[in-house]
């Protein structure tokens, strides 16, 4: 069984994460320079341009005023929304590698729901800075699963199949099959590809006790538990326990869990970013 270092050697020269996505994730906050850089980087992917133009001209956003280029798209949708959509569109292609429906259904849907729930929670808690990062960090938390699936798709299919038909948690099954889990792999790969420090930190939060996680890590962890409990990814034996632990740590005050989860899932399904993902 290979070591973490050997796996990193295997993936070092692979273009698992598109260079455009890496550069978009590294853009600074919304300012004139980053606005122009985002426009320039998106223009290099014509499929992405077509998707964003279609969305910006949809009834939800257009209000009868058509747009014809990326500058107008970014102006209409906003820098942060477009950056999140770029991340979603490009990670969609990562999760679709090999046309593997089981991987996409289990990991992609969970990652998208987790990221959007995290943004919703940040807005509720008035965490403005964290809200801007929640979706991309939520998506990238599952980078290790993309990498393990790329290294040995057949083996990862077997891991997911056992996960879906047993009560064993996914991280334990990954460790048994690969000698490393997706948390370790994701953190190491993110460092290898020089991803932003905040993304690396939220991946590393996955392996820490709740009390030791960053505030954004706790938000994303809570969002992940909500996603599992609302059917976005398979529930694990400790999903409800994790939900309660994050709820307490973050200071969310509500009594009826079922009603809370139902309301959150309804909010997710009407979210424009979630609807965008359904077109990918």
98: pLDDT strictly greater than 60: no
Helix, strand or coil for residue 18?
coil
Q: Which two tokens mark 101?
A: 């429906």
Q: For residue range 43-90, what is the model confidence (pLDDT) as tens digits? A: 877 777 887 888 778 776 766 778 888 888 888 777 877 887 887 777
Q: Is the pLDDT of residue 105 over 80?
A: no
pLDDT on residue 87: 79
- Please indicate whether residue 15 or residue 48 has the higher confidence score (pLDDT): 48
The answer to whether residues 167 and 115 touch, using CB atoms and an 8 Å cutoff, is no
According to the model, what pLDDT value does residue 157 have?
A: 86
Q: What is the mean pLDDT of residues 225-247?
A: 92
Whole-number pLDDT of residue 115: 92
Our measurement of the distance from residue 154's CA atom to the centroid of its chain's CA atoms, rounded to an integer in Å, reads 23
* Percentage of the chain modeled with pLDDT above 90: 37
pLDDT at residue number 95: 64
Please state the separation of Cα 63 from the chain's center in Å: 29
Q: pTM value?
A: 0.84
Taking the domains of the chain in order of start, what are their residue ranges? 4-18+80-278
State residue 175's pLDDT score: 96
Residues 90-118, mean pLDDT to the nearest whole number: 76
Our measurement of the distance from residue 116's CA atom to the centroid of its chain's CA atoms, rounded to an integer in Å, reads 8
pLDDT of residue 26 exceeding 90, the answer is no
Instruction: Write out pLDDT tens, residues 129-176.
Output: 778 788 888 888 988 998 998 888 889 989 988 998 998 989 999 999
For the residues 188-208, what does the mean pLDDT come to? 92
Class of domain 4-18+80-278 as given by CATH: mainly alpha
Coarse DSSP helix, strand, coil percentages of the chain, rounded to the nearest 5 percent: 75, 0, 25
Which token pair is 225?
């538990």
**Residue 180: pLDDT above 90?**
yes
| Residue 225 confidence (pLDDT) | 96
Average pLDDT, the chain: 85
């Amino acid at each position: 069984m290979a070591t973490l270092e050997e796996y990193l050697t295997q993936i070092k020269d692979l273009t698992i994460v598109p260079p455009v996505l890496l550069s978009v994730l590294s853009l600074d906050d919304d300012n004139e320079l980053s606005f122009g850089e985002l426009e320039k980087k998106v223009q290099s992917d014509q499929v992405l341009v077509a998707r964003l133009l279609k969305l910006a001209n949809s009834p939800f956003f257009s209000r009868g005023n058509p747009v014809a280029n990326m500058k107008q798209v970014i102006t209409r949708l906003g820098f942060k929304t477009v950056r999140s959509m770029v991340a979603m569109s490009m990670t969609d292609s990562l999760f679709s590698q090999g046309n593997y429906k089981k991987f996409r259904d289990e990991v992609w849907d969970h990652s998208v729901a987790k990221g959007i729930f995290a943004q919703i929670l940040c807005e509720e808690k008035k965490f403005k800075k964290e809200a801007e990062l929640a979706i991309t960090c939520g998506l990238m938390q599952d980078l290790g699963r993309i990498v393990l699936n790329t290294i040995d798709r057949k083996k990862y299919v077997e891991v997911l199949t056992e996960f879906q038909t047993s009560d064993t948690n996914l991280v334990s099954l990954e460790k048994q099959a690969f000698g490393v889990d997706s948390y370790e792999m994701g953190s190491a790969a993110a460092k290898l590809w020089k991803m932003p420090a905040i993304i690396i930190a939220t991946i590393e939060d996955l392996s820490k006790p709740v009390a030791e996680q960053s505030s954004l890590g706790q938000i994303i962890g809570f969002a992940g538990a909500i996603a599992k409990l609302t059917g976005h990814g398979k529930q694990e034996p400790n999903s409800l326990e994790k939900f309660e632990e994050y709820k307490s740590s973050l200071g969310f005050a509500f009594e009826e869990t079922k009603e809370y989860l139902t309301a959150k899932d309804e909010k997710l399904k009407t979210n424009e970013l979630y609807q965008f993902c359904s077109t990918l």
